[in-house]
Amino acid sequence: MSAKLPISFHCQNADHQRCVNDALAQAEMLCRQQKQRFTAIRQRVLELVWQQHKPIGAYEVLEHLQADGRTAPPTVYRALDLLQKMGLVHRIASLNAYVGCVQPGESHDGHFLICKSCHALAEINAPEINAAIMQSASDIGFQPVRQTIEVMGLCPECSG
């Protein structure tokens, strides 16, 4: 398992374009490694997800693509599905939205702190949470396949 990342909310990074560029470069590398095509639509969808620095819904992605002159809703869903399967984005179920993964290419469960006011989001890496869930599940004979934890609260900007 990788080292713990410092907890920070996506929207607090001042250099948004660097985040987008880094995410696109990592995605291109992962696509090559996994023998997937990093098509123009997949690239644009990932770029839109990262540009928000907050969870973005599929309809909002579609609206941006329509402004670009692209209008195929199934294409957006297929792109988001593939990006999620590759570990490049996470689906935030409570918001029915997607956010860029800060640890692409690394197998990990999604643990998120989500501001209920502004929807800022922090992805955390907490092996002790995984261990507690695995132990509790094992105690009752349950075998988890995947876990996603979404904690709603207030970010530093909204609580201060």
Residue 9: per-residue pLDDT: 57
For the chain, helix (H) and strand (E) counts, in that order, are 6, 5
CA distances from 77 to 22, 42, 60, 83, 148 (A): 23, 10, 12, 10, 20
pTM of the model: 0.83
Query: Taking 70 as the threshold, does the pLDDT of residue 127 lie above it?
Result: yes
pLDDT above 70: percentage of residues in the chain: 90
- Residue 24: exposure state from Cβ atoms within 10 A (0-12, 13-18, ≥19): middle
pLDDT class of 115 with cuts at 50, 70, 90 = very high
- Residue 142: exposure state from Cβ atoms within 10 A (0-12, 13-18, ≥19): exposed
9 in Cβ contact with 156 (< 8 Å)? yes
Residue 151: per-residue pLDDT: 95
